[in-house]
Structure 1
Amino acid sequence: MQGINVDALVSQINSLTSVLKEEQTKYENELQKYKECRKETIDAVNNWGSSPVKETTSAEDVEMPPEEQYKMPLSWIILKRVVQGRDWHYGRTDKKEEKGVVFSVNKDGQITVRWDDGDKTHCSWGKDGNFDVTVISNTLDMTPIEPSEQIRKPISWLVGRKVKRGTDWKWSDQDGGEGKTGLVLSSAGKGWINVKWESGKVNQYRWGEDDCHDVEVIF
């Protein structure tokens, strides 16, 4: 029986330890990027709608040509209203004018768009030089309409509007209590929406799912 080559064994252990340390460092860096990106997204959600506005995208943003938009930092795109842009290649060719909201971003330039029809797409804003969406305006018609007429409206009509609990509400005091208001951030899937309340909390509610409408728009 041959003896164990201790030096060779130690060398192998050191080599494996070095590899593991490198992998650990890589994952720690990725985790840090994720945490920073998550904080930016949360901050954007918290700050969005902090002042009473009627547009989710300012006129200044919209007047900016697409090529100028593409020079803006990743943080600029969070919660912007968008359509398919210059480098789009993710299908949905029959929905080029469909609007969506950029709901999250990653440090590497990947963004998540929640489309008004409920679909979700992971695409790029700067990653590998690609800009898959273009920012557009979201000017709202503020003509009051009755709740019975509101429920016939699509989710695209809701985004950016102020709401309160409606007749189908079943979520206790998630909204902060009777009379509290919130802002519709985006679609949250087919028949669902994301709402940010005065308390800062963001939750999902039905707009069409089960033929129910948990909120109503206030003007």
Structure 2
Amino acid sequence: MSVGCRVVRGPDWTYGNQDGGEGHLGTVVEIGKPGSTNLPEKTAAVIWDSGGRGTYRAGQNGAYDLRIFDNATTGVNHPNIVCGSCGQPVIHGMRWHCTVCTDSHLCTVCYMADKHDLTHPFRRFDTASSEGEAVPKREGCTEIQAKGIFPGAKVVKGPDWEWEDQDCGIGNIGQVTSVGCWARGLTSVRSAVKVKWSSGSTYGYRVGHEGKVDLVYIEEESGGSYYKDHLPVLDHTAEVAPSSGIPREFKVGEKVKVELGKDRFQSMQEGHGAWNPRMASYIGKIGTVHDVSTQGDVIVRYEGLTRWWLHPETLTKVYRMNVTTLRSL
């Protein structure tokens, strides 16, 4: 599992309509770590499309509160495997392989849209390296309507909003026009949406990319149906997907920032430029890649000519979004 996964309630759900009701989507924004006092191991924090946040079991005490609706948002893809229905040359997210027509593969969107023969059983591959999990034929299986931030939904700024007054001011409402990729060249697809605001301006926002949630809905929309028992549970022991489609190679001039907590940031700096207490004040600030050392550490320049040598894994690339870089599906 990874931050950014889009999830729905799972087999051990016991939280009423905290998610907005069965079928409503959320985004995994944090994963529990051993020894953490904030988020226990084998749990995950989710922000629901409606704006609520909760902590749920991902194997804790043998319980699984969530299912993965889509992991394409985390960069999972299956290179050189073509979807037999939509023809996409790369299958993003889970791959579905027909066990009858062995040369037939479907992407999640087509599988859930009832493409191919419903009487044929499939195997689900959660990542490119998965061994595959057998699932029954879709005919006669329970379908659930997916609901949340889909085209047509009315939205307002959410917890990770950092786009100033693009929404034309507090309380302004926008309408989702399409779902797509956060920026060109990334493998994390279906991780962002275009929104048209009352001013007529249209911009793109993160809904899953790197676990960020820029929007919440005030009026949900349907995103088709899904076969709930065919989806994998969110499991702490599952293969860890890449956290995003962003490569960890950095180029001079790129914009970056640290999004870790202070303790995690400090521990990762050991052996990578060391730790200075002043570094904590730069968490969340945008800097510019000045150089990359022969050991791979990144030298980041901030305003005022301050430079830090930072572990590359502490950094997130910053993409300034505009409507032209959001690829519609």
Q: What is the TM-score when the length of structure 1 is the normalising length?
A: 0.37
The structure richer in strand per residue is 2
The structure richer in helix per residue is 1
